[in-house]
């Protein structure tokens, strides 16, 4: 076990994976572990079993504890231990696949009555894939193999939390299985990798089956026809240094409920001038203070550096706008 330290009660920014178009080369495959990439929201859990308390933080350090009560019981089931865990909060669809769309209503409410109602129709699972602290000692400097052994030894399995399997070597087989199952992709983690908070490192790689990432919302376009009086499309971008680069118009993927929700979100963010550093070819655009982050799926980047066939997947309150860059 690593060095002693006081039990942290918050403030650990998760370690992040670097986007990659391919898995580690075949001659290095045995030195990596592979996990499925879960289509949810990242959460670090501070579990104090001595007091039966849990505190959940998003990757931008927002307190999301009240939003997911079904995860709270882990504090009473960890044998009186003190743990800091890293994982993903996931909602599954009727086919048993992770669904970011189904998770959306849970991400944006904290009112107790609404949360209790949503728990019935959209339960969540906390999928735990790392341990950062155990009983007064940090585990972050340990290699992934040692942290994984510690995590598996805790036998964390309950109705709304579990440790999903990890596979050592043979990454191509798991990536192919994720494609066949309609899943987002895989995460490759070097067996010797320590846990480095707040870093996007090449010791962890994420390989996606589809093009998908977060974008900053910089404007909206009024709708026409059956969207008259509502949002017709969002104009999105990403940061390149301090400049917000225009990435395109997103006009599909919205439900009626989401359009109403988005209308309330953009209403107080109106701006007099464009936040984009580039010229935007939409005279009807309504500019916004760039505070909202949306997840978007698309087929490819065009030669003009805009998105082809983009589709809206939902807002990401767990991601700070200034951290949104173009993934390559």
Q: Are 29 and 171 in contact (CB under 8 A)?
A: yes
d(CA 172, CA 266): 42
Distances (CA, A) of 322 to 9, 36, 242, 293, 326: 26, 27, 8, 10, 12
**Phi/psi at 36 (nearest 5 deg)?**
-65, 145
Give the list of residues 6+ apart from residue 12 with CB closer than 8 angstroms, or none. Answer: 44, 57, 84, 132, 197
Residue 196 has which token pair? 């480095």
Q: In what order do the strands lie in the sheet with 243-250?
A: 243-250, 231-240, 211-222, 286-298, 311-315
Q: Which of 15, 7, 12, 16 is nearest to 213 (CA)?
A: 16
Coil, strand or helix at 55: strand
* Element housing 36 (H / E): strand 32-36
User: Distance between CA 123 and CA 102 in Å, rounded?
Assistant: 10
> What b/e string do you get for 118-150 counting C-beta neighbours within 10 Å, with b at 16 or more?
bbeeeebbbbbbbbbbbeebbbbebebebbbeb
Of the residues 37, 189, 206, 249, only one is catalytic, namely 37
Residue 37 annotated among the catalytic residues of the structure: yes
Rg, the chain, Cα only: 20
Residue 201 pairs in a beta bridge with 17
Partner residues linked to 123 by β-bridges: none
Catalytic amino acids? 37
């Amino acid at each position: 076990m690593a060095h002693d330290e006081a039990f942290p009660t918050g403030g650990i920014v998760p370690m992040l994976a670097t986007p990659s178009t391919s898995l580690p080369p075949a001659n290095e495959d045995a030195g990596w572990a592979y996990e499925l990439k879960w289509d949810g929201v990242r959460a670090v859990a501070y579990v104090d079993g001595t007091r039966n308390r849990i505190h959940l933080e998003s990757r931008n350090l927002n307190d999301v504890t009240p939003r997911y009560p079904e995860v709270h019981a882990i504090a009473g089931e960890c044998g009186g231990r003190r743990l800091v865990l890293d994982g993903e909060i996931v909602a599954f669809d009727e086919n048993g696949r992770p669904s970011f769309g189904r998770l959306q209503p849970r991400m944006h409410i904290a009112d107790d009555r609404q949360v209790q109602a949503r728990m019935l129709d959209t339960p969540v699972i906390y999928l735990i894939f790392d341990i950062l602290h155990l009983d007064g000692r940090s585990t972050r400097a340990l290699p992934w193999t040692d942290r994984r052994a510690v995590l598996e030894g805790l036998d964390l399995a309950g109705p709304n939390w579990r440790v999903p399997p990890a596979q050592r070597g043979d990454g191509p087989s798991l990536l192919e299985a994720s494609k066949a199952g309609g899943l987002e992709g895989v995460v490759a983690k070097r067996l010797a990798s320590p846990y480095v908070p707040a870093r996007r490192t090449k010791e962890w790689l994420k390989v996606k089956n589809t093009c998908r990432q977060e974008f900053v919302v910089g404007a909206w376009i009024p709708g026409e026809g059956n969207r008259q009086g509502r949002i017709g499309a969002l104009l999105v971008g990403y940061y390149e240094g301090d400049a917000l680069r225009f990435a395109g118009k997103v006009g599909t993927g919205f439900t009626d409920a989401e359009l109403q929700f988005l209308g309330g979100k953009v209403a107080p963010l109106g701006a007099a001038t464009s936040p984009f550093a580039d010229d935007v070819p939409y005279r009807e655009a309504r500019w916004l203070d760039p505070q909202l982050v949306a997840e978007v799926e698309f087929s490819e980047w065009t030669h003009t550096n805009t998105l082809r066939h983009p589709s809206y997947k939902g807002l990401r309150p767990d991601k700070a706008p200034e951290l949104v860059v173009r993934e390559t």
